[in-house]
A and B are shown apart, each in its own frame.
Chain A
């Protein structure tokens, strides 16, 4: 997304320059992100967390203005907790996505949060992206943020139906690594959340590609 690079005016707000990736695999979903936060050309945080808790079975990755991604996901998380108390059931992923798109639509794109939301509920594994204006895409692999072009090329080549959990996770990691190396807005480490029927697994800083020298593993 070109918002931060436009007109050459560095924003004073903190952005998560960002490569975020979601991959559906057999029976679950993997969400992978980089850990760089920028303000203009300054790296303000070398190891920030872009994973946001929505519910035990739903997690979200955020790109765009950091304060907005944090505020939106927190608000939706609270909303969903209330829904869970009311219904007494595991919240459906679509409820989270609908709540997010309604919030973002209401603000007509001024709340600049680009989100990838994934989770597992009684109807299976789901993966959606939510754009700052409130539109959504539901696809088996997704990427957002300034590193999305680099990441998408990896996903287009590597994704196929029936990926195993570890295949899905490593494809996601490779896509984020493409963003880390080829997009200046993304950098440092890779964080992963994996949600499947068994539960949720989080892998913080699972690889640190920024500390390796560029070798054959990248090419």
Chain B
């Protein structure tokens, strides 16, 4: 695929459980079929209870994550309160739509916990069309296969332990059927206790 979205390759999945949310991403940084790096982080913790994962073009992932961090920090300094995941979703959406006719080539997933501890996951396209009705979203070159894995593995009201295990199985299964993502993965599990980041062993091919 000569598509700009799939030049670098990525697999990201976000899922909500009971009082917890998790994001899993791959670690590959590639140039079409050539693998350049195996330690590219695609999740960003923008606040204590807020994570954003970005799939798509690597340069835009990095530019956008910096822009987002700047905006969230400024908001929290001005407002003297953490940014809720709902507000972060809106903010990212309008930031993307601002570039309607020259977009950032990214597919974001926003996940976090509200002040009341309610889990939140949402995804959007590269120009900010938000979808927030489901409990799981997948993006990147492996989006289709990840979605299939989510449909079968997801259960209602998973405990944090179950949720962590589920996203790990989802990323393993979904990534394995995508040529452009893989080479290691990480799971970010957010609960009221805090954030747990875990590296996952995957196939190295």
Contacts and interface: CB of A to CB of B under 8 A. Distances in A.
Contacts of A37: 129, 131
Interface stretch (B20-28, B120-128, B159-167, B171-179): B120-128
The A interface is mostly helix, strand or loop, or mixed, namely: mixed
A66 to B, nearest CB: 4
B144 interface: yes
A34 to B, nearest CB: 14
Contact of A110 (B3, B93, B101, B130): B101
Given A45-B133, A67-B100, A13 B147 contact: no
B131 A65 contact: no
Contact of B125 (A12, A46, A71): A12
B129 A42 contact: no
Nearest to A35: B133
Given A37-B131, A42-B144, A42-B147, A66 B101 contact: no
Q: How large is the interface on B (under 10, 10 to 19, 20 to 34, 35 or more residues)?
A: 20 to 34
B69 to A, nearest CB: 23
A152 B3 CA distance: 37
Contacts of B97: 67, 71
Interface string B127-143: 11111011000000001
Q: Most chain-A CB neighbours within 10 Å: which of B3, B129, B133? A: B129
Given A42-B144, A71-B97, A110-B101, A65 B127 contact: yes
Q: How large is the interface on A (under 10, 10 to 19, 20 to 34, 35 or more residues)?
A: 10 to 19
B1 to A, nearest CB: 11
B129 A66 contact: yes
A12 B133 contact: no
B131 A12 contact: no
A163 to B, nearest CB: 32
Given A12-B3, A42-B147, A45-B134, A70 B126 contact: no
A67 B101 contact: no
27 contacts: A12-B126, A13-B125, A13-B126, A13-B127, A14-B124, A14-B125, A14-B129, A37-B129, A37-B131, A42-B143, A44-B123, A44-B131, A45-B131, A45-B134, A65-B127, A65-B129, A67-B97, A67-B125, A67-B127, A68-B100, A70-B128, A70-B129, A71-B97, A71-B100, A71-B128, A110-B101, A111-B100
Given A44-B131, A66-B125, A71-B128, 7 more contacts: A13-B127, A37-B131, A39-B125, A65-B127, A66-B129, A67-B93, A67-B97
Interface of B: 3, 5, 93, 96-97, 100-101, 123-131, 133-134, 143-144, 147
